[in-house]
Structures are given as C-alpha cells and as structure tokens.
Structure 1
Amino acid sequence: MRPSVVTRSLVSVTAVVGIAAASLAGASASFAASAPASKPAVSTRAVAPLATVNLGLSTAQAKNVQCWLVVHWDYNDALDGQLGTNSWKAMQRFLKAYYGYTGQIDGVVGSGTVSALQRYLKSSHGYEGGIDGQAGTQTQAAFKRFAAWAGGFCN
C-alpha cells in the first residue's frame, strides 16, 4: 500500500507545481499585456509658434510686401507669401524708423505694430480711419493698396 500512497502524493505534488507554474506564467503574460505603453521622448527646447498674419492679403499680395522688405529692410527669409515672424520683424524695423513704432522688434503683430502701420498707410496709401491699433476693413484695404504698389519690387 505504501507505494501507491507515495505515487499518489508524487502525482499530486507534480500537479500542484504544474498548476502553480501555469498560473504564474499566465499572470506574467497578462501583466505584460496590461503594462502601459512607453512614453514618447520629450524635448526640452522651447517651441515658438509660427504665426502668419497676412492682414487680409492674398499670398501673392503678401509676397509683394516681402519683396519690398527684402530691398529695404533686410528681410532674408523665404518669399512665400506668408507674413510670418521674420516678415513682421522687418516691417517693425521700418515702422520704428519712420512711423512711431515703440515696441520690441519681435515679429508679433500687436496693436502697437498695427497703429504704426496705420500711420504709414495714412501717409501714403489712402488709409482714412483712426489710429486705433485694430486691423479692420479700412486698414486691410490700405494694406492691399500698399501690397499692389510693393509688387514693383518683385523682379
């Protein structure tokens, strides 16, 4: 009788070990499957938005303005018809030199930039509105007249 008890005990222990091993393997697989995805790499560089502010100009009209800026105000970026930061920095240099712009040369088209632009447009391109820093319809119409005139600098 003794061999039969030993055999049964050995079979029982083997079964328990097998079940335990299978359970652990299954648990590991399910744990691995539920692990969160790795995080993407993070950059520590500051990212500046690339704003395009055409103030109602078409791409062709904005390109005319860029041509004028190349000739007169050290604009050296793409002639792409997108008045972005570098286009507006060049315009701010012009407005600071002649039309009372007092802000930083930062390429941001705020009310100070628009007010100085309105002073210029009033002096040369038929702007009849107030100097209010708002790029409304009259400002945009005068800016379009300026862009048409500036097209003579694109060769």
Structure 2
Amino acid sequence: MRPSVMTRALVTATALAGLAAGTLATAGTSVAAAPQAPQQGISTEAFGTLATENFGLSLTQAKYVQGWLADHWGYPRDEIDGYLGTNSWKAYQLCLRKYWGYTGNIDGDPGPNTIRALQRQLKATAGYTGAIDGIAGPATREAFKRFANAHA
C-alpha cells in the first residue's frame, strides 16, 4: 500500500522542520559534533539507535546510575557514558522486575510500565512522594536525581 499524499507531506514537513531546527541551533558555530557510535547489541537498520532518556539527570548523574547498574545488574563498565539508552534501561528493567513489580519485557524502553516500577523504587529509596502513575513528571525526576547522587 502506498503512503497517501497527506502522509508524505506530513513526513516531509516534519523532516524539514527538524533540519531547520538543527540549522538554527548550530548557527554561528564552526565545530560539528562528533558522531556517536551506536550502543553494542542495538539494531540500527530500521530507525537508528533508540533515543536516550535520562529523565532530567545530568551526564554525571546518569554515569552514577550506570555505575550502580554495572555494580549490581551486569551493565558493561565500558558502556558508562552518561546516556541512559536502551542497554542502560534493559539493565535497569532487570532490577525493577526483581524488586519493584515491573512485569513488562526487558526491552530497554523506559515507557509507563518502567516508570511505574521506577517510581515504586524511588518511593522506597529516594523520597518520592508522588503517585505511581507512569509519568516521569517533576517529582519523579527530582527523586531520580536524589537516587543518582546517592550513588556518586
């Protein structure tokens, strides 16, 4: 089945908006960012590497979390880079499954089910007082920062 004219127009407009935003964001700079290598074990054939989701953590705080994951959940030390991508979240989901009621797939997608389990962990370990709602709002993000800093 061929995409409709409207679908093609929407995809084209979205791509152009993204290119324009990237051009505006780098206007006046003369150094291009170095390309990042995809994480090991991730297929990039369809859409490229999956997005990083640090939920408000700085790169340093995310490295603390990755270090904790390396110490306890089999995350490879050579992948500690401060970007919580698919492999980081797979390791985290192993913890969340064992202790915090995560029942989803170990797929590295920090979606609502992962966030609910993370909120249960943060409630017990990092002073989270919000709802277990699967939304990584400000209270979840602040508690995640406290958790990360506790593992510095």
Question: What TM bracket, shorter-length normalisation?
Answer: 0.5 to 0.7
Q: In structure 1, what is the equivalent of residue 70 of structure 2?
A: 70
The alpha carbon displacement at 1:49 in A equals 3.0
Of all paired residues, the percent bearing the same amino acid is 58
Give the gaps of 5 or more residues in structure 1.
1-44
Q: Which has the higher contact order (CA 8 A, sep 6+)?
A: 1
Distance 2:46 2:58 in 1: 31
Aligned length: 107
Which piece of structure 1 moves more, 45-54 or 74-83?
A: 45-54
Distance 1:104 1:50 in 2: 16
With the length of structure 1 as denominator, give the TM-score of the two structures. 0.67
The alpha carbon displacement at 1:48 in A equals 4.5
How big is the alpha-carbon RMSD for the aligned residues of Structure 1 and Structure 2? 1.1
Q: In structure 1, what is the equivalent of residue 52 of structure 2?
A: 52
The alpha carbon displacement at 1:50 in A equals 2.4
Distance 1:123 1:50 in 2: 29
Matched residue of 2:62: which SS? helix
Distance 2:140 2:128 in 1: 6
Q: In structure 2, what is the equivalent of residue 110 of structure 1?
A: 111
Distance 1:145 1:101 in 2: 21
Distance 1:46 1:130 in 2: 36
The alpha carbon displacement at 1:127 in A equals 0.0
Q: In structure 2, what is the equivalent of residue 143 of structure 1?
A: 144
Q: In structure 2, what is the equivalent of residue 126 of structure 1?
A: 127
- Higher Rg: 1
* Structure having the larger proportion of residues in helix: 1
Q: Which amino acid aligns with 2:121?
A: Y
Give the gaps of 5 or more residues in structure 2.
1-44
